[in-house]
Chain A
Amino acid sequence: MSRLLRIDTNKRTFAFADMGAYAGLGGRALTSRLILEEVPALSHPLGASNKLVAAAGILTGTAAANSGRISLGAKSPLTGGIKESNSGGLFSQKMAKLGIQAMVFEDKPEDSAAPVVVVVKADGVSIVEAPELAGLGTYATSEKLLAAYGSRAAIMLIGPAGETCRLAASVQFTDPKGRPARAAGRGGLGAVMGSKKIKAVVVDDTGATGVPVADKDAFKAANKRWVEILGSHPVTSQGLPGFGTSILVNIINEAGALPTKNFRLGRFDQVADISGEKMVELMQARGGKPKEGCHPGCVIQCSQTFVDDKGGYLSSGLEYETVWAFGANCLINDIDDIARMDHACDDLGLDTIDMGNAVAVAMDGGIIPWGDSKAALELLHRVGDPKDSLGRIMGNGAKFAGQAFGVTRVAEVKGQALPAYDPRAVKGVGVTYATTPMGADHTAGYAVCQNILKCGGDVNPMTKAGQVELSKNLQIATAAIDAVGFCLFVAFAVLDTADAVQVMSDQIAAVTGKKFGPEDFLALGVNTLKDEIAFNTKAGFTKEHDQLPEFFAEPLAPHNTTWDFTPEELQGAKVS
């Protein structure tokens, strides 16, 4: 029986609770419903009324391929709206196997309280004071915790950025090798965790009973077909495992949609130095590993071990978004320094997308020169010093940096910085940036698929026709996938396979023992979005917030297209 583990961070007590009204929910559907029901929409995101929810997906902990993702939810200190931030790593599966659908961190202690580590095992929960971990990077912290609690443990943790409640603070998760390189990066949820003085949560599933499966034969059959679907689509079976997500660098550049120099151009002339092809070449020559999974049961394996020229480890999750954010967007072409910036963000506990935008804003404001990777790296490291005011500014992300530096050219929606596709040349994803309850987020409705990659359809990226409907449908499907615990990258195969939604539904039915069809899958997505929109409406968001910054009315080379949707047109992308 799955339960909720509620932790009172003020009293340092815990209690297990039945799922109650939340029964049947998981992942993003659970985090968003719980935040809507239990967090006052007008509360301060870093105050005692906010809650941090870490939820396993509906299928997480089972053998369903690629189902081990985690959803973190809270009211976001970055956007002021509801947030679901998604990550890989081992934590979610282990939590689910212990029969815990979600952990809910409530209330907050005095600001002077020492950080604590919450330890969750089959035989109990303990909350341990850990002043020695204060201010420590996530790499050193996980190393110490894995030494203390054993290598079977998985960790969810924050770095110095979260501890000082920086608005761009991430929550990091350990991968199969114990490296805290997986991030729930977006929306500043690390700051919420820091406000509650939780430095880390350690989960060990030794002795766990596992996730019960109601109909084992049906589940086996459905999962067999599921693995077939993922294993036969060229993107999930060749592209992503072969080159990682940075396989996108060249194609987005070729399409004229790679945001360059803080969204001034659609192509970067040194793109070859930061491409996925280049990264693979370097990893092969240097003894890195181009293909890894972020959790057991991943059959796609888009991750890697990226190493420097001496073979020293730099990152296991150097993703396209990060390579773009610190690369093309800052005119930086040194892939090793980009990997060092990724490592710095993972270690300090910072969102690479917001930080890449913040560095570009700092370059725009004359704080450091364009293209100067060493200066950019130093700027990031300053976030680790709580007494460094420039570091404090940077750690609050792109919007705050723009305000501090007097820069108006800040690519953000609802306070959250834009990802790696210029909305003027990939209009479908622009609709998602503007309308998702999350603030600018590509994963919330990845129309890059149909606009550029010709996956799941073909919609001209540079005209308005069809984009609103496309984004809406993708936002619904994504919310459902996030609720199930699947990695979003399954979508490439799902969109091109006729029976994929049926197969995912069959897996859910087989695990829960309750009827579940494609219409229920759809409803899961729609209801999740409705919850999120309801929260944001109560928090004061209106259609005026569903807009891109005005500088996107400038034409973007090479296609010279502009952003030309009105707020009214965009409202069609929201479920009602």
Chain B
Amino acid sequence: MHISVKCFATLAKHTPAGADRYEVADGATVADVVAALGVAPAEVKIVFVDGVAAALDAVVPDGGRVGIFPAVGGG
């Protein structure tokens, strides 16, 4: 299946080429996506799947939108 996936801030370099149509195995979890992109799990603070914060073991739906963030803050 295909998902869209982007990494942000200090993790931005891990955003893959073709991020809007990135291929992953059916049933892939957030952790699988993080691993496939080569992001160290310890650096990941928040992952959004379709705009909702998701745990590492959450399954990503087909066509899902994934955003991977380190710890960020501002205001």
Report A's interface with B, CB cutoff 8 A.
Answer: 233-236, 238-240, 242-248, 250-251, 254-256, 266-267, 276-277, 302, 319-321, 442-443, 446, 448-449, 452-455, 458, 462, 488-489, 492, 558-559
A320–B9 alpha-carbon span in the complex (Å): 14
Residue of B nearest to A236 (CB): B73
Interface residues of B in 5-30 (CB under 8 A from A): 6, 8-10, 12
B41 to chain A, nearest CB (A): 14
Check if B45 sits within 8 Å of A238, measured CB to CB.
Answer: no
Partner of B45, one of A234, A266, A489: A234
Check if B75 sits within 8 Å of A277, measured CB to CB.
Answer: no
Partner of B74, one of A238, A247, A256: A247
Partner of A235, one of B51, B67, B73: B73
Check if A454 sits within 8 Å of B45, measured CB to CB.
Answer: yes
B1 to chain A, nearest CB (A): 20
- Chain B residues whose C-beta falls within 8 Å of the C-beta of A492 in the assembled complex: 73
Check if A559 sits within 8 Å of B51, measured CB to CB.
Answer: yes
Closest CB pairs A-B (n = 10) = A245-B74, A235-B73, A234-B71, A254-B67, A256-B51, A248-B74, A492-B73, A239-B72, A254-B48, A250-B8
A319–B73 alpha-carbon span in the complex (Å): 12
Contact with A along B26-53 (1 / 0, CB 8 A): 0000000000000000000110101111
Given contacts A251-B8, A277-B8, contact A246 B74 (CB under 8 A): yes
- Chain B residues whose C-beta falls within 8 Å of the C-beta of A247 in the assembled complex: 9, 72-74
Is B63 engaged at the interface, CB distance under 8 Å to the other chain? no
- Chain B residues whose C-beta falls within 8 Å of the C-beta of A319 in the assembled complex: 74
B57 to chain A, nearest CB (A): 16
A483 to chain B, nearest CB (A): 18
- Chain B residues whose C-beta falls within 8 Å of the C-beta of A488 in the assembled complex: 75
Residue of A nearest to B45 (CB): A454
Check if A455 sits within 8 Å of B71, measured CB to CB.
Answer: yes
A83 to chain B, nearest CB (A): 18
Given contacts A239-B9, A243-B9, contact A248 B72 (CB under 8 A): yes
Partner of A239, one of B51, B52, B53, B71: B71
Residue of A nearest to B69 (CB): A251
Check if B74 sits within 8 Å of A240, measured CB to CB.
Answer: yes
Partner of A240, one of B45, B53, B73: B73
Check if B48 sits within 8 Å of A239, measured CB to CB.
Answer: no
Interface residues of B in 59-74 (CB under 8 A from A): 67, 69-74
Check if A448 sits within 8 Å of B75, measured CB to CB.
Answer: yes
Partner of B67, one of A238, A250, A449: A250
- Chain A residues whose C-beta falls within 8 Å of the C-beta of B48 in the assembled complex: 251, 254-255
- Chain A residues whose C-beta falls within 8 Å of the C-beta of B51 in the assembled complex: 254-256, 266-267, 558-559
A561 to chain B, nearest CB (A): 11
A240–B75 alpha-carbon span in the complex (Å): 10
Partner of B75, one of A233, A266, A462, A489: A489
A248–B52 alpha-carbon span in the complex (Å): 16
A182 to chain B, nearest CB (A): 15
A559–B49 alpha-carbon span in the complex (Å): 12
Check if A248 sits within 8 Å of B10, measured CB to CB.
Answer: no
Residue of A nearest to B67 (CB): A254
- Chain B residues whose C-beta falls within 8 Å of the C-beta of A448 in the assembled complex: 75
- Chain B residues whose C-beta falls within 8 Å of the C-beta of A277 in the assembled complex: 8-9, 12
Check if A239 sits within 8 Å of B70, measured CB to CB.
Answer: yes
- Chain A residues whose C-beta falls within 8 Å of the C-beta of B12 in the assembled complex: 277
- Chain B residues whose C-beta falls within 8 Å of the C-beta of A452 in the assembled complex: 46, 53
- Chain B residues whose C-beta falls within 8 Å of the C-beta of A235 in the assembled complex: 71-73
A254–B50 alpha-carbon span in the complex (Å): 8
A452–B71 alpha-carbon span in the complex (Å): 11
